[in-house]
Amino acid sequence: MDLLNKMLNIVALPFSLFSLCLLLPPFHFFKFALSILSSISGQDVVAGKVVIITGASSGIGEQLAYEYARRGACLVLAARREKSLREIANRCLELGSPDSISVTADVSNVDDCKRIVESTITRYGRLDHLVSNAGITSISMLEDYEDITIATSIMDINFWGAAYITRFAIPHLRNTRGKIIAMSSSASWLPTPRMSIYNASKAAMVAFFETLRVELGSDIQITIATPGFVESEMTKGKHLAPEGLMNVDVNMRDVQVSVLPIASGQSCAKAIIDSVCRGDRYVTEPTWYRVSGWWKAFAPELVDWLFSVFYIAKLGDSPTDSLSKKILDLPGLRALVYPSSVYSPGVKTK
């Protein structure tokens, strides 16, 4: 076995380079031809289809609900905040959804995930799209957690919440040859300090749904979304504090987001649904975030150094003394990169 592995160590690289040079041009030409045919034949129409959206009470989930409503989809909106959900469901009816219901649920609870799907089938008898969007973030160094088990809630909601509801939805999505939209993040490949648990949860989502794509084959289409900074409660400063409570801290938001432009939630939702209707495997919005993945793949040491210099303050200094915050505090920059929506009051911490 060791001899075989040594032989593979020698031949794997040159064989792979040769194969890529040989196969990539025709493969990409084939993909380009398929995209042309797809544009001619038209995108998939969502009017009348049944869509579950988790984490629909705010942020990208709320905007996805509105965009699906404009396109005539029937909606099942799930989140923990009942009042917000009902208001959004009513707004969806005004925007054109034939029917929209809300299901108060916590996706980290497996029974709640099962109930969301059962409520959908009881109401509509089918399921066409599952949007697994619910998520929370944290802004803490790992060493800041006195009780590290507090951080498990991030994985419970972001990863296990997606896995639970997907498990219950698969049989119904198979019946309709439906679609799964997995809301990961560009954080899944970026080593942003103070977000190690969140980044890991989003990377786990990518690995999970990529593997599931192979398991399910062509029965169910999976689109993995990896947005950058987009209007949401997260970009308003809401995060899980090391003490275990949800907190709103705009100063720490400024440290983490810095001068990276915060994209419109509405434009992000439209781009994601357009991508799903085209049958894309991945969608990144804003699209320029894809470049960061190339840097991470080809110059990981440089990326690590840049993120350290940019985000880590000197020993003994506050995180707000980091270069990322100092640059943002330069005159006029904050107004240039932050939309007015991130300053709106009333972010709920429950």
Residues with a catalytic annotation lie at: 198
Identify residue 188 by its one-letter amino acid code: S
Alpha helices (H) in 42-81, listed in sequence order: 59-70
260 DSSP assignment: S
Sign of the C-alpha dihedral computed for residues 171, 175, 177 and 178 taken in this order: negative
Give the span between the Cα atoms of 186 and 10, in whole angstroms: 34
Rg (CA), the chain: 21
Identify residue 66 by its one-letter amino acid code: Y
* CA-to-CA dists, residue 98 to 52, 83, 242, angstroms: 14, 21, 43
- The token pair that represents 231 in the structure block: 């209007």
Give the span between the Cα atoms of 164 and 183, in whole angstroms: 14
Helical (H) or strand (E) element with 130: strand 129-132
90-95: list long-range contacts, CB under 8 Å, 24+ apart: 91/66, 92/65, 92/66, 92/68, 93/69, 95/66, 95/69, 95/70
Give the span between the Cα atoms of 78 and 63, in whole angstroms: 14
